[in-house]
Amino acid sequence: MSTLSPETPAIIPPAPSRLRLDGDALVSNWHWLDQASGSAACGACVKANGYGLGAFEVMSRLVRAGCRDFYVATWTEAAALMPLPDGVRLSVFHGVGEADMAAALSINARPVLCTPEQVMRWRSTGRDCDVMVDTGMNRLGVLVADVAAGLLDGLELDTLASHLASADEDVPLNDVQRAAFAGLAGRTAATRMSLANSAGICLGAGYHFDLTRPGLALYGGVPRAEAEGHIRPVVQREARVIQRRTLREGDTIGYNSLWTAERDTQVAIVNLGYADGYFRGFTNSGMAWFDGAALPVIGRVSMDLTALDVTDAADVGEGDWIAFDDDLPLASAQSGMSQYELLTSIGHRFERVWS
Ligand SMILES: *Cc1c(COP(=O)(O)O)cnc(C)c1O
Model confidence at 1, pLDDT cuts 50, 70, 90, reads: low
Q: Which residue out of 47, 51, 207, 340 is catalytically annotated?
A: 47
Is the pTM for the entire model greater than 0.85? yes
Task: Indicate the residue type of 289.
Answer: W
**Contact present, 304 and 256 (Cβ < 8 Å):** no
SS (H, E, C) 97-150: CHHHHHHHHHCCCEEEECCHHHHHHHHCCCCEEEEEEECCCCCCCEEHHHHHCC
Are the CB atoms for 203 and 288 separated by under 8 Å? no
Q: Residue 118 pLDDT more than 90?
A: yes
- What's 233's DSSP letter? P
| Sequence-distant (≥ 6) Cβ neighbours of residue 5 within 8 angstroms | none
pLDDT digits (tens, 9 = 90+) for 320-350: 999 998 999 999 999 999 999 999 999 999 9
CA of 72 to the centre of ligand 1 (A): 10
Per-residue pLDDT tens over the stretch 44-91: 999 999 999 999 999 999 999 999 999 999 999 999 999 999 999 999
User: CB neighbours (10 Å) of residue 207?
Assistant: 25
CA torsion sign for 208, 213, 214, 219 is positive
The average pLDDT across 103-113 equals 98
Q: What 3-state class would DSSP assign to 138?
A: coil
CA distance 74 to 23: 25
Length of the chain: 355
State mean pLDDT over 170-183: 98
Considering the chain, what percentage of its residues have pLDDT values greater than 90? 96
What is the average pLDDT value for the chain, to the nearest integer? 97
Which band of pLDDT confidence, cut at 50, 70 and 90, is reported for residue 282?
very high
Instruction: Decide if 255 is catalytic.
Output: yes
User: Which residues have C-beta within 8 Å of that of residue 57, sequence separation ≥ 6?
Assistant: 21, 50, 352, 354
Q: What is the pLDDT of residues 128-153, one digit of tens each?
A: 999 999 999 999 999 999 999 999 99
Q: Is the dihedral of CA 77, 193, 197, 353 positive or negative?
A: negative
Chain segment 27-45, per-residue pLDDT in tens: 999 999 999 999 999 999 9
What is the CA(207)–ligand 1 centre distance, in A? 14
**Which entry of 71, 207, 255, 340 is annotated as an active-site residue?**
255
